[in-house]
Structure 1
Amino acid sequence: MKPLELLKPLNLLLIFLLELAVLVAAGYWGFARDAGRCGSCSGAGAAPAFAAVAVVSKTPAVVRRQ
């Protein structure tokens, strides 16, 4: 087994954890906005949804197929 073959799963795990961190940060940002109770709750759901769509649309097709 090549040394670089061991790094690929770790790299994918790192990418996954970083994407989760971005979604959590976007949710916190949406909730922490001073938009009232309803605005904060909708922002906490909408901000990560928009971030997830942006990540999926910018991910190359080669990475998504694996």
Structure 2
Amino acid sequence: MDAAAEREGITVASCESEKAATANQTTISTVGKAQNLVSLMVSRCIGISSRRDHSLAQFG
């Protein structure tokens, strides 16, 4: 009985460990996507700002 309980405990611990690893990977993926979005927004803002400054210089 003790061996069966020990195996069950190992199985539960393994499952919990796998769930934690999956949650960690999901968090890393979400953070990466957020960083990519911020980079894209910043690059677009810089691009818009540069074009606006260039347009103003033409008429200045």
Unaligned runs of 5+ in 2: 1-13, 55-60
TM-score, normalization: structure 2? 0.54
Q: Please state which structure has a larger fraction of its residues in helix.
A: 2
Aligned-residue offset at 1:4: 2.1
Q: Which has the higher contact order (CA 8 A, sep 6+)?
A: 1
Aligned-residue offset at 1:8: 0.6
Q: How many residues align?
A: 37
CA RMSD of aligned residues (A): 1.4
Aligned-residue offset at 1:6: 1.4
Rg larger in structure: 2
Residue from 43, 47, 53 that aligns with 1:36: 53
Q: What is aligned with 1:7? A: 22
TM-score, normalization: structure 1? 0.50
Asked whether 1:17 is paired with 2:14, we answer no
Runs of 4+ with >6 A deviation:
none
Q: What is the percentage of aligned positions where both structures have the same residue?
A: 0
